[in-house]
Amino acid sequence: MLTGGKRGRKRGTPKTGGRKVGTPNKATIEKALIAERETLQARAEHRRLAKDVLDRLMGMFINMAELYEPQPGQKPDPQQALQFERWSMHAFHVASELASFQSPTYRAVMVAPSPETAVQRVTRFQFKIFDSQRE
């Protein structure tokens, strides 16, 4: 009767093989290809991308806010101040949505301690090869 041995690597031995660091997996590659295909199709059909629409709207809202911006040295008009606030808030909301397309997001990364800081146990042995006298 044959018995199977343990499969896998022994504990404590480093992992070998596999994907190199930074190489995307199949799902990531597929998502990137789909996104690129949809972008090219939208441009071919002369459709605007969401980031382009948001950028245009933000510019329009900023221009409207600048029309109602209080001028230094003039008495502030309450109606003008309300219009300035209204258009500024529209620009702020569009800018906050647009930021996710234009700026990268950073995530926390957990770092393992380096192997040099690990405590190593040292055991010393003393051997005497010629400890008896032969005649």
pLDDT tens string 25-80: 899 889 999 989 988 888 888 888 788 888 999 999 999 999 998 888 888 788 98
Q: Which residues of 97-111 are buried (b: 16+ CB within 10 A; e: fewer)?
A: ebeeeeeeeeeeeee
* Residue 99: both structure tokens together: 């930021």
pLDDT bin (cut points 50, 70, 90) of residue 107 is: confident
Per domain, the residue ranges of the chain are 48-104
